[in-house]
Structures are given as C-alpha cells and as structure tokens.
Amino acid sequence: MVTLAEVARRAKVTGATVSNVLRNPQKVKPETVERVMAAIRELGYRPNLTARALAQGRTSTLALMLSNIANPFYPEFVLAAEREARKRGYFLLVCNTDDDPAITRAYLDQIAGTLAAGVIVMNTDLAERELVEVAGRGAAVVLCMWEHVQPTRALPCVTVDFAAAGALAAGHLSELGHRKFGALVGEGSGGPQTVRVAGFESGLAARGHAAKSLVAARTRDSIEGGYEAAMTLLRKHSALTALFATNDLMAIGAMQAAADLGKRVPDDLSVIGITDIQLSHQFRPALTTVRFPTAEIAARSITLALEMVEGTAPAQEMYAVRGPELVVRESTGPAPPRRRG
Amino acid sequence: MVTLAEVARRAKVTGATVSNVLRNPQKVKPETVERVMAAIRELGYRPNLTARALAQGRTSTLALMLSNIANPFYPEFVLAAEREARKRGYFLLVCNTDDDPAITRAYLDQIAGTLAAGVIVMNTDLAERELVEVAGRGAAVVLCMWEHVQPTRALPCVTVDFAAAGALAAGHLSELGHRKFGALVGEGSGGPQTVRVAGFESGLAARGHAAKSLVAARTRDSIEGGYEAAMTLLRKHSALTALFATNDLMAIGAMQAAADLGKRVPDDLSVIGITDIQLSHQFRPALTTVRFPTAEIAARSITLALEMVEGTAPAQEMYAVRGPELVVRESTGPAPPRRRG
DNA sequence: GTGAAAGCGCTAACAC
DNA sequence: GTGTTAGCGCTTTCAC
C-alpha cells in the first residue's frame, strides 16, 4: 500500500505538503502541487480513509438503521439516501435490525461515533432514551419517519404528515360517494400506524360521515396481512365499498382478496393505500394511493445528519418535508349504486 | 469519548492489558479481567473501531457494489449478505453504481483497501482488468453473479448455473406440450442475459424442438421492458403459447401484456421467469419461475470475501452454489389445443 | 501476567 | 510555502 510518506519522499516534500495538496491546494505553490500530483499518479497513491478518519476524529461514513431492507419501501429510500451521501463524500452503512432491539443496540454500540459519524434511525422499537444516550456518545442521531413523534423530543426527526395522508385518502373516497369504509391498520416497525387512521377518521368526520361508517382491522403491514384482514372485513361487512390501507402493501393484499372474493376493483370495491411504493403502479389494477416524498425524506435525513456532523446543526427539532399527495390510479372509482337493503 | 487509556487508568493497568482483556481474556489473570471489565462498564467504554482498524491494518467493513438497489433482486440479496456479515462481526457498505463506470471506479478508488477490507462486485460494466488492479491494492475482491464468467478469470466468483436455469425452463414448457416459444432476453447490468437463453435453446433442442420454434426479443430487464417486448412478440407471432423471460421482472411485464391483449395466463399463454424474486409469488397469477438460491449466494459471497480478508483464502477460483430449481406456480399450464391453421 | 514503547497513515498547529 | 512535531485510539511485539 502506497502511503502519503512515500509520495512525500518521491516529490521531495514532507507529508504535510502532500496533505495540503490534497485538501488545500491553494496553500501550496503551483509547481509543488504539480510535482506532488505527479508523484501521486506515478505511485498510484490513494489516501487511507481510515487513517484520515482517526486523525480528523470523524469518519466519512453514515449508518442507516432500518428494520428490514426487503420491505419494498426501504430500497427506494436507501437508493436516494446513498446518492445524497455519495454526493457529499460520505458512505452508507446499511443495518438491518429485524425489529430486534438487541440487534439495534449492538449496532449502535459498535458503530455510533466510531465507524459512523451519524446514524439515521428509521422506525424502531428502541426507547428514545437509549438513542439520546447514543447521541451523547458523539454520533449525530436523526430519527426518520417516526409516526408517533412528539414535538418535544430531544432528537431531530425528519417526518411526513401521516395524519394528512389519512385525511387525503378519506377525502378522495368520500368524494367518490362511498359511505361504508373499511380500514386496514398496519402493525409495522414503530408500532401500529394509528396516526394515519386517525387522520382518515377525522377526514371522514370533516365530511360528515358518522363514526360508525368505518370498520377497522389491525394486521401485519404486508401483502399477506392485508389479504387476510381484507378477507375478514369483506366477508363480515358486505356493505363495504371502499377499503383504506395504511400502507400500500396491505392495499395490494386487499386487492387480491377482493379478486378472490369475486369483487371487481374498482367497480365493486375501491382500494386506496399510502406511500406509493414502486409496486403500486406496477400492479394491476394500478393502486390509487397517497404518495410520500420518499426520495426527499431520504435526502433530507442525510443532509440533516451531515449538518450535525459538520457542526452546522440547525435549530429546529423536527423536519417535515413536502406534504403527502393523492395519486389517483385504477383502484378507486365511484361507489357502486346502493343495493336496496 | 471514553478511550482505552482512561479505562486503563481507572483499572490501574496499562492499555495493553485492557486490549488483552477485550481480545485475549485468557491471557489475563481473572481478577484483572474483572477489574478492567468493571472499569469498562462504569465508564461506558466502547472501542473505537476506526483506531482498531488502523492499528490492525484491516477494517471490519465490507462493501457491496451493485447497480441499483431499487431493483427488487438486490434487497433480498443485501438482506442475506448483511446478516452473514453481521454474524461475523463485519459491517456492510452499500454502493449503488447506476451502471456508471465512473461511479464504480470512484467507489473502488476510495474505499477498496482503506474503508473496506473486501468488495463484492455484482454485475458491472467495468473491465475485469480494473478489478484485478483493485485487488492488487490490498482489497479482497469477489465477483458475484457474473453471467459471462470465464473459468480462467483472475478473481474468485460466486455464481449460479445460468444455462441450467434456462434449460429447466425449457424442459418445463416442453413437457406441458408447448411448441412455439417466445423468449424475452433482458439487457441488464453485466450485459445481455444470453447464457440463460442459450441454456433455454439447448434445453429445447435436447427435447427435439427445432430452432425455429423459438422467437426472441431483446429488451430492458424490467417490468416495462418485459411488457413492451411481450406486446411486440405476441402481436407478431400469434402461434406463441409460451413465453420465457430471462428474469422475473420481464415475466411479470409479459403477464400484464397478455392481460391487455385479452389472453389469459396460463390458459392461453404460459409465462415463466428466472430468479424467483419475492414479487413472483405475490403477483397474480403467481409466477412459475426458476429459483436462484439468492440468500445462499449472498452468504457465500460474504464468507468468501472474509476468507480472503482473513487470509484463509481457498484455492478454487469459482464457486457455484446449489443449482437453480424449478418452482411451478400459476402462470404455466398445458399448451392450449392447437387451432387449425 | 503485565508494562513499555513503537507505530498504523494521516491531520493540524505552529514554527521557520 | 514548507517543514516539524504531536498526536488520533488502538494493537502488538518484546521485556520484565
């Protein structure tokens, strides 16, 4: 491995100068820069980032803690996060926690403040208190997409307006003339997605729907979970004409359940989700959903972490990005004519 | 930040002993171990992995270079890779290259041998020669899933039998009585997936099908690509009763094309893919496909890289994992009765 | 069984 | 402008 010292020797300067050529070239005489660059080229020198990190007291690595990257939301997030990090000269460590606090803790213990200058923590089952402690160890900690976020929290948080997303879905369904609604409430990492449902309920209320026009079911936040919950709901409540899922995966499962029950989407049943993962427009019928600005959230989380790492930490505690927006596709339509009952 | 020196001071030993307690406890007197552990606990000491890496001359980080993590194959791969790495005390850097050689090169230049002890390179457009050079800089380089792999190559490679996968698909379709086949050949990272098609062709030939019973079309390896290519093929060749896609994404696109053309799958048209990504069993009709042992490939890549990093590099140059296997689901069925023509 | 000392490759004052 | 000098926090011989 070629070291800075060897470059220095060859260019007949000291290490300090080589270092300067690389980091503050304007401080070095042009001809020296030239000579050093030549030596670097000839020797094929590459700075050792580990050594640099140790000397600077700061690494160029960020960690992203998420529950399970196989959940289709995360790859889209990671893609955007990694691009933003790379753009700023940082690298991204991806850490799956499997929603296991022990794994989360082990990761945090090992890398926060040593291998990783900053950590972005997506929904997790860890107590916030523990994360505050991690932050105390010298790592920039930013929370991301925590649904049950308190404005008083000690850690900065990048988030979206989950309630508004639910309300948007309610508005859309209501406008289409639906009267009986089913809600599929996901239990994901970070607990049940109740804020979205609350938003949906208040959206319904705002449009004059009675509370009993809504029936809800809790389920796992997955295609399978959505399928099962929709099956149960649809069988039990034949008057339902619209299903709201707190996440796209469940909505997709719900559409499959509808198909298996011989209900056509959207003719007999409208289905709407939240997030707008890629899958949503790839499925048939294409899913109507409330889009989260995923890439923007990811990029914002990275920049926020870096601002903290690099000491230009902004004052605010919570960062909402562009709000959610309705994306109408094929899975929602006018409420079917009422059957006489 | 609590350092090893502070722990040493508190435990009234030297740094060397603290280090030994952490790494070779058997070399230290039990009561000393006890005392040191107590100090560590009281101080909340965590070893600085950056410093350790510099001192040891080896990091505990591996890098995974892939074209784009939003492609559904990769998250499944990354999940398994990260778990294996974590199990062995390593961390995983995820690097998107976007199939851009410049990005790939930049990543490699920066991290190979410094931040990352090893690099797993999935299909890439980089010349192998460049990778060999990277390996020369002291990083363990392992190739993974390269379809056009030569047995003489200089770098170890973890791969599957792509040709066998194609042949398996051919056998299945042939047994179902199909006579006219269409092939959707993907152009992904790493070039066109021609080995799979070659395998498909020879599988067909082995069962006595004439070469002209197959029509092929090149397309992007994506749902959209598969959709378009299938549209073209199905419109042009009305006698086709079976479609083979070199990847599941295209197969899914093909099923959508079939639906839009009013063809029922599998009654009018059978569709088979390769890989068995999660989506394949989630889609309706569920896709028949040839499964790659994705998690196993990922784990093997990691262990191979670590064997090299840790100096126990095995002799072989190429590592095939368990072979591909046929997974029959809903998208394939008996060839429809021949229309008179 | 424990300590002293050198050094991993780099950065950052500060001196010249 | 460039060099000198101390480290960064840890590991690792090698004495004792």
* Residues B253 and B198: beta-carbon distance below 8 Å: no
Q: Work out how many CB contacts closer than 8 A connect A with B.
A: 123
Please tell me the predicted confidence (pLDDT) of residue A254: 98
- Say how far apart CA B124 and CA B281 lie, in whole Å: 28
Q: Tokens for B221?
A: 């390896």
Among partner residues B54, B59, B93, which is closest to A92 by beta-carbon distance? B93
Mean pLDDT of chain A, nearest integer: 94
Q: What is the pLDDT of residue A315?
A: 57
pLDDT, one tens digit for every residue, chain B (341 residues): 899 999 999 999 999 999 999 999 999 999 999 999 999 999 999 999 999 999 999 999 999 999 999 999 999 999 999 999 999 999 999 999 999 999 999 999 999 999 999 999 998 878 888 999 999 888 999 999 999 877 667 889 999 999 999 999 999 999 999 999 999 999 988 889 999 999 999 999 999 999 999 999 999 999 999 999 999 999 999 999 999 999 999 999 999 999 999 999 999 999 999 999 999 999 999 999 999 999 999 999 999 999 999 987 665 677 888 999 999 999 999 999 976 54
Nucleic strand C near CB of residue A54 (< 7 Å): yes
**Separation between the CA of B32 and the C1’ of D16 (whole angstroms):** 18
pLDDT at B162: 96
Compute CA distances A209 → A173, A200, A204, B110, B295, whole Å.
11, 11, 5, 59, 49
CB contact under 8 A, B93 and A61: yes
Q: What is the spatial distance, in angstroms and rounded to an integer, between the CA atom of B36 and the C1' atom of C2?
A: 13
Confidence label for A149 from pLDDT (cuts 50, 70 and 90): confident
- Hey, of A67, A83, A94, which one would you mutate to test binding to chain B, going by the most B CBs within 10 A of its CB? A94
Looking at residue A53, what DSSP letter applies? H
- Mind listing the pLDDT tens digit for each residue in A42-80? 999 999 999 999 999 999 999 999 999 999 999 999 999
Q: How confident is the model at residue A92 (pLDDT cuts 50, 70, 90)?
A: very high
Q: Which nucleotides of D are covered by protein (CB under 7 A)?
A: 1-13
Q: Under 8 Å CB-to-CB from A151, ≥6 apart: which residues?
A: A317, A318
pLDDT above 70 covers a percentage of chain A that reads: 97
Is A114 within 8 Å of B49 when comparing Cβ atoms?
Answer: yes
- Strand C at less than 7 A from CB of A16: yes
pLDDT band of residue A119 (cuts 50, 70, 90) is very high
Confidence (pLDDT) at A341? 44
Distance from CA of B160 to the nearest CA of A (A): 22
| Interatomic CA distance for residues B39 and B27, integer angstroms | 18
Nearest CA in chain B to A113: B48
So what's the pLDDT on residue A151? 66
Place of tokens 């059978």: B270
Domains of chain B, earliest start first: 4-47 (1.10.260.40), 56-161+293-322 (3.40.50.2300), 162-292+326-339 (3.40.50.2300)
Across chain A, how many H-helices and E-strands are there? 13, 13
DSSP A17-39: HHHHHHH-GGGS-HHHHHHHHHH
* pLDDT value at A257 more than 70: yes
A196-220 mean pLDDT: 98
* pLDDT tens per residue across span B84-106: 999 999 999 999 999 999 999 99
Between residue 278 and residue 337 of chain B, the positions with Cβ below 7 Å from nucleic chain C are none
- Predicted local distance difference test score (pLDDT) of residue B152: 66
Residue B341 is predicted with a pLDDT of: 43
- CA A118 to C1' C16 (Å) is 39
Residue of A49, A103, A113 with shortest CB distance to B115 = A49
Nearest CA in chain B to A1: B137
CA dist B148 and B4 (Å) reads 49
Distance CA A232, CA A188 (A): 20
Question: Which one is predicted more confidently, B126 or A105?
Answer: A105
Taking the CA of residue B130 and the C1' sugar atom of nucleotide D3, their distance in angstroms comes to 37
Partner residues linked to B272 by β-bridges: B244, B288
DSSP characters over A114-173: TTBSEEEEES-SS-HHHHHHHHHTT-EEEEES-SS--TT-SS-EEE--HHHHHHHHHHHH
> Distance from A95 to chain B by nearest Cα, in Å?
7
